[in-house]
Amino acid sequence: MRCLAFAFLLFTGACETGGDDPPLPDANLTQPKCTGVAYDSCTANSECMSMSCKLFSGDGIQVCTQACDGSNPCPTGGTCNNKGICKPTMANACHP
């Protein structure tokens, strides 16, 4: 019985996702390396020129972005969402 309990604990412990870590974007190494401009894929704020890496989970992308409003429009390819963040239609073709 102890073996069964140990196996259960081992199995459930192995299924943990690591807490609040964001998912890594797909790394397509055939694309050029990202440089941190708006809409480049990223995994951390420090990878972005704007210091703002955001996960758009509904679209399945995590990209460099920036704040926006009427005076500060988004770069081409994105729109200002209701949180005041530029949201692209898709990530740039590059890998982090």
Domain locations along the chain:
31-96
Contact indicator for 75, 57 with CB cutoff of 8 Å: no
% of the chain surpassing 90 pLDDT: 66
Is the alpha carbon torsion for 62, 67, 70, 73 positive or negative? negative
Contact indicator for 55, 36 with CB cutoff of 8 Å: no
At residue 4, the pLDDT reads: 42
Tens-digit pLDDT profile for residues 56-77: 999 999 999 999 999 999 999 9
Using DSSP's 3-state secondary structure scheme, residue 87 falls into strand
Is the alpha carbon torsion for 47, 51, 56, 57 positive or negative? positive
Tens-digit pLDDT profile for residues 24-55: 445 677 889 999 999 999 999 999 999 999 99
